[in-house]
Each structure stands twice: as structure tokens, then as C-alpha cells.
Structure 1
Amino acid sequence: MTLPDIYDRVRIRNGFLTLAQMVQLCENGNDIFDPFSTLISAHAKIGKGNIFYPGVIIIGTSNHAMEIADSNIFHSNTLIESSSGPVYIGSENQFGEGGVTIKANREGSIIKIENKGRYLGGAAVFGSTFLGHGSQILGAITADNCHLEQGDSWREPSPDARGGLLKGHGLAKDLTVGTGLVINGSGNFKDSLIEPQSNYHKIVKQSQ
């Protein structure tokens, strides 16, 4: 038995794609820089144009959906798990740098992430959480049962048109952050801390 055969046997036993299946993902238009350190669930549905840096782990089961669309970037130390509920990820999101953990690992959990979001710097997502188009979590923040409403991406010149944002560090639980709004927290995040994103970024006026 060759070394690749041994590695594949271990992968199959733990529900991950074999090395040949990882190669096929690349043939289908994804970039995987290190297939040995990258583990992707055999039950995951993966689109095209995704970039997987070394050390990305995607865990799934046959009981819950793990769906990833197109053109996402998964930096090292990204962990995504759908062991007790589904995880749906849209397109053109950035996960990391600085690590990110996304786990639907409690009964009744469902995590849906739309498009063009950024989740960086040790962000962790749990429970039933919706991260709308253009939303962001920046920092070592645990978002549990949160709803960040959709808006434009972080590249939008007008910050108050961007998706909901959490920044700082600490616990954000059972919160809704609307379009163009932010909580800049340190410790426990609260509704009373919600403010316009334009408090932190100059509004760029469009020329007439």
C-alpha cells in the first residue's frame, strides 16, 4: 500500500475527500494550495473559483447541508462545521486572515452567509445566525444567534449603505445589526452600542 492510499483511507474513514477528489475540485476551477493540510468534507457541495489556503478544515455530515458557492477566499485557520445543522455560504466572501470558526454544532442551528462579506481576526459564528450580503465581523468576536442585515460590501464608498458590522472583541448574542450600522464592542456587545458606520468612515459624496 502506497502513502497516498494510506492517507486516503484515513480521509475516507473520517468523512473527507480523498487526494484525487481534491485534485478534481481544482480541475473544476478551485485553487487548493496544499491538499495535504486542507480537509474538505465529502458531503460538501463546492462551487467554482474558491481559494483554499493551507490549514482549512470543512467538516460536514450526510444529515446536514454544507453548501459553498463561488469565488470565496478561505485563509489558513478557517474551520467550518455543519455537524448539527446546515451551513450555507454564498459567493465572494473572505474568511480570515487571522482565523475564523463557523459551527452549526448545536441542535436547531442554521448558519447562512450571503455574498461579499468579510469575517476576520478570530471571528467565531454559532447558533442560528444570518450574515447578510456585505456584512462583516472584524475581530475576535463570538457571534451567537445574530442577524447582520444585508447592504453593499465594504468597498462601497458610503459606509451607511454597507451590510451590518461587528468590530472589536467579545460576545455578541441575540443581536440584530441593520444596514449601515455597527457595534464596536469590547466585552459584551449590546443594542445600546449600535451606531452608524459613518461615525468611523468619512462619507464619500458622489459627484453630480
Structure 2
Amino acid sequence: MIPDLDDIRRQHGFLSMADTAALIGRGVVMFDPYSTLISEDVDLGAGVVIWPGVTLERLDAGTLAVGTGTVLHSGTRIVARGGTVVIGRRAEIGEEGGFTLKADRPDVVIEIGDEARLLGGGSAVLNNVIGRGAQVLGPIRMQECRLEDGGSHVEPDPDRRGGVLKGAGVARGLSVPRGGVIQAFGTFEAGALRRQVEFHPKR
């Protein structure tokens, strides 16, 4: 006997396949509704792009909102289990290996600014602020970090770009200013802060 897949989805708080596909008619770009899991009451802005294999899970009165034009790549999992995850406009999340954002308590808030980039299989748990234009590049596990606002990765002046973490490992309690970058492979340390212009010289 073939199980009712829609019934299984509903039991776990996700939309049916038909209701998931119906989001396309509301301005969401979705390539494969059948591999996409989205909970009820997830706020998706017009023009959000959802690649196959994305999970957007809202439980226990959590808040999950994704801004206009943001792209969610395959392997991205965003969970608001009682907490809050808010993603701004035209952000790019999960290319090169997915990304996980998890706010699993009422006091946890994860904020992702406009035009931020989170790439390469990393994650953010507990409270984190990834500001406008900021970037997380690589499999980095973030906890209680703040990357300051700035221009996006295409801003010509590296000193004006949002804060960046790059490499691989664990980053706890760090603050990266505009134009700054911490690169590490292992444990990220505040003392390793450098200027982005060292990696991207001004022309």
C-alpha cells in the first residue's frame, strides 16, 4: 500500500504538495515543489527563488520570513521552532553545499540582511545578526555572531562591504565590522580580524 504523502507532510506541519505548488501562483519561483518542504504561515516575498531540496520549517509559534528576490539553494534548511528567522531582500543562501539556520527557542533571533550571502554548507544557531551585504563563506558553524552592515560582495570598495567570515570551523561570539574579514580553519578568533582589501586590492 502506497502511503499518503500529503498526510505525512501535514502530520509534520508542512503544506501538501498541491498547496506548495500553489505558491508559484503567488509570485514564488519554485523548480520542484515535490522535493520542497514548507510549513504553513511561512512569509515568502514575491520573487523568492527556491531550488529543489529546500526545507522551510515553522513550528511552535515561530516566525519565518524571507524577503523579496532572495535565492534559497538546494540543501538549505531554515527552522523557526518557537524562535525567529528573518531574511532580507535579494539574499543568497546555500549555494555550494546548502546552509542551515535554526532558531529553536523563543528567545533566539536570527537576522539576515539584504543582499547577504551564506554559502558553502555552514550553519547559524542561537542569536546571530548577518547584516546587509555581509557574507559567510564556507562550512562555518556560527553562534552569537554579528557581521556588520555594508555593501554587497559586488561593492567596488572592499572597505565598504559588509563583514565577512570565511574558511571552516566554529565562530562564537564574534563581531566583524564593515570592511573586515576573519578567515580561519578551526576556531575563529577575534584577533584574526583583517581588512577585506588585503584579499581584494582596490583597483
TM range (shorter): over 0.9
Task: Please name the residue that 2:117 is paired with.
Answer: 118
Task: Please name the residue that 1:27 is paired with.
Answer: 25
| C-alpha displacement of 1:43 | 2.5
Indicate which of 84, 88, 96 corresponds to 1:90. Answer: 88
Task: Please name the residue that 2:145 is paired with.
Answer: 146
Question: Which region of structure 1 is more displaced relative to structure 2, 28-37 or 166-175?
Answer: 28-37
**1:101-133 C-alpha deviation (Å, 9 max, x unpaired):** 111124521101111011111111111100100
Please tell me the residue identity of whatever aligns with 2:103. Answer: A
**1:126-156 C-alpha deviation (Å, 9 max, x unpaired):** 1110010000000010110000000000000
**1:14-59 C-alpha deviation (Å, 9 max, x unpaired):** 1111222222210111111111110011131111101111110111
Task: Please name the residue that 1:130 is paired with.
Answer: 129
- Please give the alpha-carbon distance, in whole angstroms, between the structure 1 residues aligned to 2:78 and 2:143: 15
Unaligned runs of 5+ in 1: none
Unaligned runs of 5+ in 2: none
Task: Please name the residue that 2:181 is paired with.
Answer: 182
Task: Please name the residue that 1:71 is paired with.
Answer: 69
Q: Secondary structure of 1:166's partner?
A: strand
Contact 2:62 2:106 in 1 (8 A): no
1:38-77 matched pairs, under 5 angstroms: 38-77=36-75
Q: Secondary structure of 1:125's partner?
A: strand
| C-alpha displacement of 1:62 | 4.5
Identity %: 37
**1:159-178 C-alpha deviation (Å, 9 max, x unpaired):** 11000000001110001100
Q: How many residues align?
A: 201
Contact 1:183 1:194 in 2 (8 A): yes
Please tell me the residue identity of whatever aligns with 1:102. Answer: L
| C-alpha displacement of 1:194 | 0.5
TM-score (norm 2): 0.95
Task: Please name the residue that 1:80 is paired with.
Answer: 78
Task: Please name the residue that 1:156 is paired with.
Answer: 155
Alignment RMSD:
1.4
TM-score (norm 1): 0.93
| C-alpha displacement of 1:6 | 2.2
